[in-house]
Amino acid sequence: MMENKLDGNAAAGTLQEIFPFEMTLAQVTCTGCGTTNVIGATAAYMHGMGTIVRCPVCDTVLIRVVHARGRYWLDMRGVRVLEISVEA
């Protein structure tokens, strides 16, 4: 599969395999620039090898998810805070 810039919406299915919440309204604070965005408003790149979620302001990699051989690898080095509303 080719690289393809999408929105955080596109990563929602993958993230909701891991987190038991609706994740497009979860807020991420970027370690790069400090801005906070909902995941639905981030940029997502879907590769054959995995999903990359980037900050829409400074392009820092927020989250990388790889699902292979029966396990998930979740690299969240770009996320200072992940805030999940359980009421929305």
Partner 1 sequence: MERRTLPGRLTWQLGEVVTTQPETARTKSITLIVPNWMGHQAGQHVDVRLTAADGYQAERSYSIASPPEEAPRVTLTVERLDDGEVSPYLTEELRVGDKLELRGPIGGYFVWEAQMGGPLLLVAGGSGIVPLMAMLRHRAAAGGSVATRLLDSSRSYADIIYRDELDRLVKNTTMLEVVHTLTRAQPPGWTGYHRRIDPEMLREVAWSSDQRPLTFICGPTPFVETAAASLVTLGHDPARIKTERFGPTGEA
User: In this chain, which of 12, 53, 62, 79 binds partner 1, going by CB under 8 A?
Assistant: 12
Indicate the residue among 25 and 76 with the shorter CB distance to partner 1.
25
70 binds partner 1 (CB under 8 A): no
Q: Does 60 bind partner 1 (CB under 8 A)?
A: no
Contact between 52 and partner 1 by CB under 8 A: the answer reads: no
**Chosen residue from 10, 53, 61, 79 binding partner 1 by CB under 8 A:** 10
CA of residue 27 relative to chain centroid, distance: 10
Among the listed residues 8, 10, 63, 74, the one whose alpha carbon sits nearest the alpha carbon of residue 32: 63
Other CB atoms within 10 A of residue 7 CB? 16
Whose Cβ is closer to partner 1: residue 46's or residue 66's? 46
Cα distances (Å, whole numbers) of residue 2 to 5, 39, 45, 46, 47: 10, 22, 10, 8, 6
Tokens of 70: 């029966």
- Binding residues for partner 1, rule: CB under 8 A, are 1-2, 4-10, 12-13, 16-22, 24-25, 38-41, 46, 86-88
